[in-house]
Amino acid sequence: MKISLVPEYTSYPKRFAAYKWFKPLLAILIAAIFIFVSGMVLVYSATGIAGAMGMDVSGVLGGGYDNLNIYSALGAIVTLASVAVMLPGVLIGNRIVNSRPFSSISSSRGGFDFKVFFKCICAALVLVVIPLIIYSFVSGSSIGAVKFTVMGFILCTILGPLQCVGEEYLMRGLVMQTFGSWIKFPIIAVLLQAIPFMLMHPYNITGMISVGITGAILGFIAYITHGLEAACALHIANNMTSFYMQGFGVNSISSTVTITDMAVSLGVVVLYLVFIIIADKKLGWFDHIRRDDAAEFNAKYEAKKAKKS
């Protein structure tokens, strides 16, 4: 049995000398306020601009996924950027509370490892993107008109991954580590964070169940890999495939998820999970500790305390 030397990820906040039980919750509250205010500013600014230009924004601002419009510049800004602000929200919340470095949310291996992320995104391209593209062509009733504008495609390509990463840093990062710092058993933290993640998505019952299970698997991936790189790769691969398939008229995103849709979606997620477990156990992708963030932070923290006294 392999024994990992990497600190456990979900309870990692407790390794920092400045940790108090309420500090992660305070960071979430600050992040939530920033996300809400930023989202409202984006929505009302875009609405005002669209109104001044005589544009109809009804399909951008409401109706769930059936009326989702991320294919024009306005739609991409309103729908994707308002979620992408989760990333700076988590950064700001953590910075204000200042009980640990932001890198400790990225991983317990010493920050976000782009080499690990690149390997995971390559795996996701094969195991997730290709099957989903095939399913999109098979399940699509017909090839429709391209919905992308040039600027919409560019903004979707930039903001789409940021939206996925923002959700990972908030849910699998800040929220899951908050639960993990309170609860002795990591698996409970993994399951609990999947509940708010599920509630964030306006699907039918089948879709909600699918999202909840996917959220739990994403949490488990973050737990076994001691970080967010592999979860971010899966999230980006899944979402960007859906965005591009609809944007190029191959398939559509709907709030109504069928049993078949759920089976395919969860199938590729489980396939990716199996590969990540193999990459962890057999290939040692997630064993390398780049630096000890807790030791560095605690040394500086104690030095500041000694200087004040």
Model confidence, pTM: 0.93
pLDDT band of residue 65 (cuts 50, 70, 90) is confident
Averaged pLDDT, 277-282: 96
What is the pLDDT at residue 4?
Answer: 63
Q: 110 or 61, which is more confident?
A: 110
What is the pLDDT at residue 1?
Answer: 46
Cβ pair 203, 212 in contact under 8 A = no
What is the pLDDT at residue 272?
Answer: 98
